[in-house]
C-alpha cells in the first residue's frame, strides 16, 4: 500500500484585480500561475500576454473580475522600449539571431524625424514570430520550421511616440498604442526608415488603459509579504472599469437589473448619458452590479457580477 494521498489545499473564491509587475524571463502564464498559487485563488486569468523578454504591468483578474478582462485586451497600452539600430534579427528582438548588419550613420535629429512618420494610423505586417494563426497553426510554428507565410497588413494607431534617450546605436522611446500593435515591428520599421535596420532589446509595459505601474507589485514582494497582507494588493473588480461612466440604481431597479431586465434611462439616471458602456452600482455605491450598454433611452444589462446578489 502506498502512502496516503497529499491533502488537497482548499481554494478561495477571490474577486478582484492584481496589478503585477512581471519580471524578466517569465511568461505571462507562469506569472499568473505563481500569483494564483500565492492567493490560493479558485479562478484567475491575465489580460493579454507579455513576452518573457518584456517586463511591466500585467493585470491579473480573479473570480468575477475575469468577466471583464476583455475590456483590458481592447484597451490602449503604453510601453517604454529600447531598440538597437544597425542589426536585424530573426524575431525582431534580442532573442533571435542576427540576419542583417548595417552601419548606423543617422543622428538624433534623423531619429526624431523618422519617428514622426509613425504617429497616428499606420499599417503593420504582423511578425512571423507571433501567436496569430494561419490555417489553425500559430505563425511562430511556421517560423521555427523555417517557413514564411504571407501576412496581411493591419491598421493600428500610435497615439503617442516620444524619444526618451538617444545613445546611438541604442534608442529608447515611449509609445502609447492601440490593441494589436507589435512594438517589435514598430522598432524594425523605424530602423528600416533610417536605412540601417533595428531590433528590440528591452520592453517594459507601463500602462494598460487607465491602469499604471504606480500601484503594481512584484512576485518577490508578494512572496515575502505575510499572508494576511497580500489581500491589500487586490483591487476591486471595478478597477478595470474606471473609464466607464457610473450609474446608481435604487432597490427596485437593482432587482430588475440583476434579473437581466432592460431599464429606461430616464428612470435610473438624472444625468444624460452618451451611448456606450457604463458601470452599474446599487444605490449606496458599495456594490458593483455589472456592466450595461446605454443607448436609445435604454440601459441594457451586459455582464452581471454574481457577488452582487
* Whole-number Å distance between alpha carbons of 91 and 99: 10
* Whole-number Å distance between alpha carbons of 235 and 233: 6
Q: How far apart are the first and last CA of the chain?
A: 48
Q: Provide the CB-side half-sphere exposure for 39 (13 A, CA).
A: 27
* Whole-number Å distance between alpha carbons of 36 and 25: 18
Q: Which of 15, 21, 51, 189 is catalytic?
A: 51
Element (H, E) at 241: none
Cell 432587482 found at: 255
Q: In the annotation, is 162 catalytic? A: no
* Residues 106-118 as b or e (16 or more Cβ within 10 Å = b): beeeebeebbeeb
Residue among 233, 205, 241 nearest 217 (CA): 233
DSSP state of 47: S
Element (H, E) at 32: helix 28-39
* Whole-number Å distance between alpha carbons of 134 and 202: 28
What amino acid positions are annotated as catalytic residues? 51
Amino acid at each position: 500500500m502506498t502512502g496516503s494521498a497529499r491533502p488537497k489545499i482548499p481554494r478561495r473564491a477571490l474577486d478582484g484585480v492584481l496589478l503585477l509587475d512581471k519580471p524578466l524571463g517569465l511568461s505571462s502564464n507562469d506569472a499568473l500561475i505563481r500569483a494564483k498559487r500565492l492567493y490560493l485563488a479558485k479562478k484567475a486569468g491575465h489580460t493579454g500576454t507579455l513576452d518573457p523578454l518584456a517586463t511591466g504591468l500585467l493585470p491579473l483578474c480573479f473570480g468575477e473580475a475575469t468577466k471583464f478582462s476583455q475590456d483590458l485586451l481592447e484597451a490602449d497600452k503604453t510601453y517604454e522600449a529600447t531598440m538597437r539600430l544597425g542589426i536585424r534579427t530573426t524575431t525582431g528582438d534580442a532573442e533571435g539571431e542576427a540576419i542583417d548588419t548595417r552601419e548606423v550613420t543617422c543622428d538624433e535629429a534623423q531619429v526624431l524625424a523618422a519617428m514622426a512618420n509613425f504617429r497616428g494610423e499606420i499599417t503593420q505586417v504582423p511578425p512571423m514570430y507571433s501567436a496569430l494563426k494561419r490555417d489553425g497553426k500559430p505563425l511562430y510554428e511556421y517560423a521555427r520550421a523555417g517557413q514564411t507565410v504571407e501576412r496581411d497588413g493591419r491598421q493600428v494607431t500610435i497615439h503617442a511616440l516620444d524619444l526618451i534617450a538617444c545613445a546611438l546605436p541604442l534608442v529608447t522611446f515611449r509609445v502609447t498604442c492601440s490593441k494589436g500593435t507589435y512594438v517589435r515591428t514598430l522598432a524594425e520599421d523605424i530602423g528600416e526608415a533610417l536605412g540601417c535596420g533595428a531590433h528590440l532589446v528591452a520592453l517594459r509595459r507601463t500602462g494598460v488603459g487607465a491602469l499604471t505601474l504606480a500601484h503594481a507589485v512584484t512576485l518577490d514582494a508578494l512572496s515575502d509579504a505575510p499572508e494576511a497582507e497580500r489581500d491589500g494588493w487586490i483591487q476591486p473588480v471595478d478597477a478595470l472599469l474606471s473609464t466607464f461612466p457610473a450609474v446608481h440604481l435604487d432597490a427596485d431597479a437593482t432587482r430588475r437589473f440583476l434579473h437581466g431586465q432592460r431599464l429606461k434611462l430616464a428612470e435610473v439616471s438624472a444625468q444624460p448619458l452618451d451611448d456606450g458602456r457604463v458601470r452599474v452600482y446599487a444605490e449606496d455605491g458599495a456594490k458593483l452590479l455589472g456592466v450595461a450598454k446605454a443607448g436609445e433611452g435604454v440601459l441594457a444589462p451586459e455582464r452581471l457580477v454574481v457577488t452582487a446578489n
